[in-house]
Chain A
Amino acid sequence: MRLTTTLLLVGVLSIPAFAQQRLPNVTVQTLDGKKVDSRTFSNDGKPVIVNFWATWCAPCKKELNAIAEKYADWQARTGVKLIAVSIDDARSMARVKPYVSGQDWDYEVYLDPNGDLKRALNVNNVPHTFLLNGNGEIVYQHNNYEPGDENVLFEQVLELVGKKK
């Protein structure tokens, strides 16, 4: 059994460069209760940031609050859109909409209560951020948040739209 699993791993790791990853086909909920397919996340050919967070995750909230201060500027310069996917489950799901309103965020917020999208994108823990180019392909990802990471993220966004800092 060990031999076959080793073979499997070797086989997997020997497959060269993976195809550019696109968002998978998973149902998430909007804060209005509508069901949306994650494959439809798009921004008219402009970059999209998909950020996984939770109301119980302090670094996640710091990241989204730090970006919130610069969001208007980011949007003006690059047209980027941030989609915040909350992995709060039934315990804290009711708290998401009031919290988002209380923070005065302008993001598109979705709920992933059983972690389906999180698992489909192989996210281990939050915060985890993905950057998609205009074609919906994932070109950059980052785990964890430290103050200043949002600047690195924005540099990546600028590269996508071909602008200098």
Chain B
Amino acid sequence: MIRIPCGAWALLCLAFLLATHSAAQDNGQLHGNFSMDAQYYNEDDVIGAVVPLERLAANSWMNLIYSRDRFEIGGRFEAYEPRLAGYPAGQPYIGSGIGYRYAKYTQSDLEVTAGNFFEQFGQGLIFRSYEERYLGVDNAMEGVRVKYQPYPGIRLKGIIGRQRFGFDNGLVNGAGLVRGVDAELDMAELLDTSWTCVGNLLIGGSFVSKYQQDRDPLLVLPENVGCYGIRLNYISPRWNLYTEYAYKINDPNGKNGFIYKPGQAVMFNITYAVKGFGATFGAHSFDNMFYQSDRAAPTPFDLNINYLPPLTKQHTYNLPATLYPYATQPNGEVSTQGEVFYKWKKGTALGGTYGTKIAVNYSTAFALDTTKLGIADDTTARMGYTTKLFSKGKRQYFQDFNIEIRKKVSADWEFALTWLNFTYDIDIIQGKPGKRTVYADILVLEGLHHFNDRHSIRFELQHLNTKQDHGNWATGLAELTFSPHWFLAAMDQFNYVTTSPEEGVTPDRIHYPIGSVGYIRGGNRFQVNYGRQRAGIFCVGGVCRQVPAANGLTLSITSTF
């Protein structure tokens, strides 16, 4: 386990701050944020609520950034005493300490960072180091990053380091070493007046490689595994065309059964946008693209080097977002998506007095068509299977069609009506083999009423209709807001199940009521929730993690200063 000596660093930090403070107060600035989620758990056998031994759990973070002229140093103190149930997604976080710290120097064409950093090459298809703190994803790099612009229009980035793996009274890094380089050319900026095309063309290329020792006695595993990528982005006022290709050489890992087949990924996306109308169409195909810096990382949530987002719409309403979310299948999938946004202007027939907005979305995901080869056959060198990109397999993993209409009907009333239709292969996506594909319809009605300038009430009625899985759900939500400081909300989700599901067992009809109160002032926000939280699903890379059901009191504090 690699421990960071934080005591010495913290003292150095403090000394530096006080020293510069006592000197002339030039342009030195210190700012940061604080965030805490604490929960007190009640017993609740009806929903199978989890109750940790400590009864009270809290995740807390404090970030501080000190910047002055060209220098910047920052750090984050984290405390999990203990961590909330179901958090984080991968390797557990224990105790408290410094989980992130860095020093950065910037000048006109050069930026150097030492310590922890987040970075992305292009869209992240080959390399993305990022955090989604509240979901529990954090694969920060620890090492060195150099960003250099040798000539206007040419941007170079280089990184080398290890990834964050877990937290045990301090940062714990993974076993593998990651290094990469990225170059991007902005043709309009580079060629300046010689560039006469209407739009702009960005060309990028990157190479990332990971090193991990081979300590396996039974196989010869490649210690350096590289991944190449090239990308092209053409942007004009109305059109935007993006395409990217990635190729990963042999990467036998725990998620693909230790086969020596190379991996490939292709993605492209076209968008068209004019005032009042926008459309986007995209497609991607992944084959054997799990790329973790520890080839046998304990879970699919750990140490991911690349980022393979699902080509589906991220829903904001409770039922579609938390019951049947799609997760990319990095080992093989073919996916397409199309979305259209349109606004009927005020005064037109459908627009009415205030205008009407509509959004239509359609996305699908299929298995990749593969032909298995015999793994034990050495003449095929453990290649696993053969396939072609974009060759759709028979199995459909996911389909989502939805229409959303928003309209302000009077000065005080606004409504939104959404219809969603899902085809969801719960067997593959959530890892529940034997369960039938879920066909579900969801209808959501949202309304907003302004009592006056400051007070309003927003309500949502959601209904999910399906004959599979847990049957029907209904959700009702009401939120009273007293601008600018207070809000009150109450929500109930009810699994009322009109027909017995195909599994042959009728589960109990359970209510999940929850109430919230919140207070906001400036950059500070306090929120208290009390009630039952339904078990949630969090999916990454084809594996879904159950966030357990809970009952109790939750306190959230966020502050930016």
Contact = CB atoms under 8 A, between A and B. Distances in A.
A in complex with B = yes
A28 to B, nearest CB: 13
A98 B273 contact: yes
A112 to B, nearest CB: 11
A136 B68 CA distance: 16
Interface stretch (A29-37, A43-51, A77-85): A29-37
Nearest to B13: A8
Given A122-B561, A148-B483, A11 B339 contact: no
A102 B276 contact: yes
B558 A146 contact: no
A100 to B, nearest CB: 7
Given A4-B10, A101-B274, A143 B29 contact: no
Interface of B: 6-7, 10-11, 13-14, 17-18, 21, 25, 27-33, 35, 62-65, 67, 72, 77, 96-98, 106, 118-120, 123-125, 128, 130-131, 134, 155, 169, 186, 188-189, 199-200, 202, 233, 235, 237, 240, 242, 269, 271-280, 282, 307, 309-310, 313-316, 339-343, 345, 357, 359, 448, 450, 453-456, 458, 481-484, 487, 518, 520, 522-525, 558-561
Contact of A122 (B21, B32, B97, B275): B32
Given A90-B124, A92-B314, A93-B123, A102 B278 contact: yes
A142 to B, nearest CB: 6
Nearest to A102: B341
Contacts of A152: 483-484
A119 B316 CA distance: 23
Contacts of B33: 122-124
Contacts of B98: 5
Given A18-B30, A56-B316, A124-B560, A101 B276 contact: yes
A33 B184 CA distance: 12
A1 interface: yes
A147 interface: yes
Contact of B525 (A7, A18, A89, A143): A143
Contact of B189 (A34, A91, A121, A140): A34
B485 to A, nearest CB: 9
A82 B120 CA distance: 27
23 contacts: A1-B7, A5-B98, A7-B10, A11-B18, A24-B67, A24-B72, A34-B188, A92-B314, A94-B271, A101-B274, A101-B277, A102-B359, A115-B118, A121-B31, A122-B31, A125-B134, A140-B522, A144-B525, A146-B484, A147-B448, A147-B450, A148-B450, A151-B454
Given A34-B189, A141-B523, 5 more contacts: A9-B62, A18-B31, A19-B25, A113-B124, A146-B484
A35 B35 CA distance: 31
A89 B309 contact: yes
Given A98-B273, A104-B275, A122-B63, A89 B130 contact: yes
Given A142-B523, A148-B484, A94 B31 contact: no
Interface size class of A (residues with CB under 8 A): 35 or more
A2 B342 CA distance: 56
B30 A97 contact: no
Interface SS of chain B:
strand
A143 B233 contact: no
A1 B6 contact: yes
B558 A124 contact: yes
Contacts of B155: 35
Given A58-B316, A100-B273, A116 B118 contact: yes
A40 interface: no
A114 B276 contact: no
A22 interface: yes
Contacts of A15: 17-18, 21, 30
Nearest to B70: A25
Nearest to B321: A56
Given A15-B17, A19-B28, A103-B341, A142 B522 contact: yes
Interface in A11-27: 11-12, 15, 18-19, 21-22, 24-25
Contact of A12 (B30, B125, B235): B30
Contacts of B134: 125
A8 B278 contact: no
Nearest to B446: A58
Contact of A103 (B97, B202, B343, B525): B343
B255 to A, nearest CB: 21
A143 B558 contact: yes
Ranked nearest first, the 5 interchain pairs of A and B with the lowest CB-CB distance are A102-B341, A98-B278, A148-B483, A91-B309, A146-B481
A94 B481 CA distance: 32
